[in-house]
Amino acid sequence: MSNLTELSMVDARDGLRAKDFSAVELTRAHLEAIEQAGALNCFVTYTPELALARAAESDARLSSGTALPLDGLPVGIKDLFCTEGVQTTASSHILEGFAPTYESTVSQNLRNDGAVMLGKTNLDEFAMGSSNETSYFGCSINPWRRQGDDTQLVPGGSSGGSSALVAARLALGATGTDTGGSIRQPAAFTGIVGLKPTYGRCSRWGIVAFASSLDQAGPMTRTVQDAAMMLTSMASHDEKDSTSIDAPVPDYEAEIGKDIRGLKIGIPKEYRVDGMEPEIEKLWSQGIDWLRDAGAEIVDITLPNTKYALPAYYIIAPAEASSNLARYDGVKYGLRVADSSDDIVSLYEKTRAEGFGAEVKRRVLIGTYVLSAGYYDAYYIKAQKVRSLIAQDFSNAFEKVDAILTPTTPSPAFGLGERSDDPISMYLNDVFTVTVNLAGLPGISIPAGLDGQGLPLGLQLIGRAFDEQTLFKVGHVVEQAAGFDAKPENWWGGAS
């Protein structure tokens, strides 16, 4: 039965409908694979009984001819989405033991469409990070390794548990969230597809907030069509999130296989950054050739304010985070550290000192600093102005082109501990992805090749606001041209 874990989501859906196998069999195959894969540390909370119960419900609908769009398909849910009655930690000690009484809109949408949750996937604490190493529950491990080298590599972050899970064939797909690159960067590091939708396409309700003006949920899958299928379910208008758009959700899957002749693809010169690995540059050129060969017109463009994106992001995101994280005070839920002699202030202080990890504290400190009276104009307001300029750069570019092609990351996956001592080198991972969040645009990462050490590399497509369709259409062309069929060798245990 182990080959059931090799199916794409689309093939699994078709197989279930053709009664080639049942939802319980499909779920069991994944649970068995997960049970061999403890070394990957993909889950903070694993929910096999719940998964089997939901799969049985799917089987009942499948056999009565009332199947839902994602019925019986096993997925991971990033542990940033509140799930009713199931522990939700944001990979932080401060939320350990917190079981929400409600379900996030996105996970509810997936549930309403019949998807089977396998558990809650590991992430960087409060989604702050690019490697998964800031998780209180230990780092999730990348199933990929450099050839002939057993150094453990990070799966990217913050959605590293989700990326490792999908790449290791332990789920057909998973949810991620992306504030500065947290879907696309881990997707690139693990050879899978990750899409950050336009800000407002998916509801943020019930997702533990990091930086509310940047956060967005999206799918992580092994194929572009699977991502289209999953986003169709995840996206919705939601009265509980005033920033979610009241517009119909298109049939994203219908874009797969469409012609791209005549489409204009922009290549931004500012993304040719110093220190980019030559192999990534080569892959980018190859991507340009693939699109040209498919009939697209390649156009050189300029996004002149790109170099200010990272500094602006690392002011705006911590500013919003410091405000959002003020609610973790030991009073309402989660961890409380105090003894009977403590007053309320020392309860706050002790709880926050013990409950938050170093990276979260760094962000709260930076955030409160840039928002403080004397510095607000010099940092926060200025960063907001830069943000407008970056959005304007993209608007100008999208007058000339239909989508933009860039690498997803400046390097392949790195080893555990290789960058954790130097926050700046960690932040540099996001150089190609944060711009997209600042401008609120959709972006997709597609696995496009391997580097000389056998590690996956991704290409990113950026689209106009609410034009995910073009990303699916062009993304599928890149996927077909790349023919990426490599998979990680199973070193973590059990049959592959």
Looking at the Cβ atoms of 129 and 266, the one nearer to ligand GLN is: 129
Q: Is 485 helix (H, G, I), strand (E, B) or coil?
A: coil
Q: Does residue 152 contact residue 415 with C-beta atoms inside 8 Å?
A: yes
State the Cα–Cα distance between residues 89 and 335, nearest whole angstrom: 11
Q: Does residue 256 contact residue 249 with C-beta atoms inside 8 Å?
A: no
Q: Quick check: bond before 91 cis, omega within 30? A: no
State the Cα–Cα distance between residues 203 and 246, nearest whole angstrom: 11
Q: Does residue 127 contact residue 177 with C-beta atoms inside 8 Å?
A: yes
As measured in angstroms, the least distance from the Cβ of 198 to ligand GLN is 15
**Residue partners of 234: CB distance under 8 A and separation at least 6:** 106, 109, 110, 175, 202, 217, 218, 219
As measured in angstroms, the least distance from the Cβ of 210 to ligand GLN is 6
Tokens of 42: 């993909």
Give the torsion sign (CA, 191, 398, 235, 83). Answer: positive
Residue 126 DSSP symbol: G
As measured in angstroms, the least distance from the Cβ of 485 to ligand GLN is 28
Looking at the Cβ atoms of 184 and 464, the one nearer to ligand GLN is: 184
Least Cα distance to 471 among 448, 441, 449 occurs for 441
φ and ψ at 265, to 5 degrees?
Answer: -115, 125
As measured in angstroms, the least distance from the Cβ of 365 to ligand GLN is 15
Query: Which chain residues interact with ligand GLN by CB under 6 A?
Result: 127-130, 158, 178-182, 210, 317, 430
Identity of the amino acid at 143 = P
As measured in angstroms, the least distance from the Cβ of 211 to ligand GLN is 8
Looking at the Cβ atoms of 12 and 321, the one nearer to ligand GLN is: 321
Least Cα distance to 178 among 437, 453, 405 occurs for 437
As measured in angstroms, the least distance from the Cβ of 473 to ligand GLN is 25
Looking at the Cβ atoms of 167 and 321, the one nearer to ligand GLN is: 321
As measured in angstroms, the least distance from the Cβ of 129 to ligand GLN is 5
Bridge-based pairing of strands 456-463 and 297-301 is unpaired
φ and ψ at 386, to 5 degrees?
Answer: -60, -40
As measured in angstroms, the least distance from the Cβ of 465 to ligand GLN is 18
As measured in angstroms, the least distance from the Cβ of 417 to ligand GLN is 17
Q: How many other C-beta atoms lie within 10 A of the C-beta of residue 100?
A: 18
With both helix axes pointing from N to C terminus, report the angle between 309-324 and 358-371 in degrees, rounded to the nearest 10. 100
Q: Does residue 136 contact residue 92 with C-beta atoms inside 8 Å?
A: yes
Catalytic site residues?
78, 158, 182
Looking at the Cβ atoms of 161 and 180, the one nearer to ligand GLN is: 180
Looking at the Cβ atoms of 266 and 367, the one nearer to ligand GLN is: 367
State the Cα–Cα distance between residues 164 and 167, nearest whole angstrom: 5
Q: Does residue 92 contact residue 122 with C-beta atoms inside 8 Å?
A: no
Identity of the amino acid at 304 = P
Report DSSP letters for 411-457, one per residue: S---BTTSSTT-HHHHHGGGTTTHHHHHHT--EEEEEEEE-TTS-EE
Looking at the Cβ atoms of 34 and 309, the one nearer to ligand GLN is: 309
Looking at the Cβ atoms of 146 and 362, the one nearer to ligand GLN is: 362
State the Cα–Cα distance between residues 234 and 221, nearest whole angstrom: 13
Name the burial class of residue 264, with classes exposed (0-12), middle (13-18) and buried (19+) by CB atoms within 10 angstroms of its CB. middle
Looking at the Cβ atoms of 182 and 306, the one nearer to ligand GLN is: 182
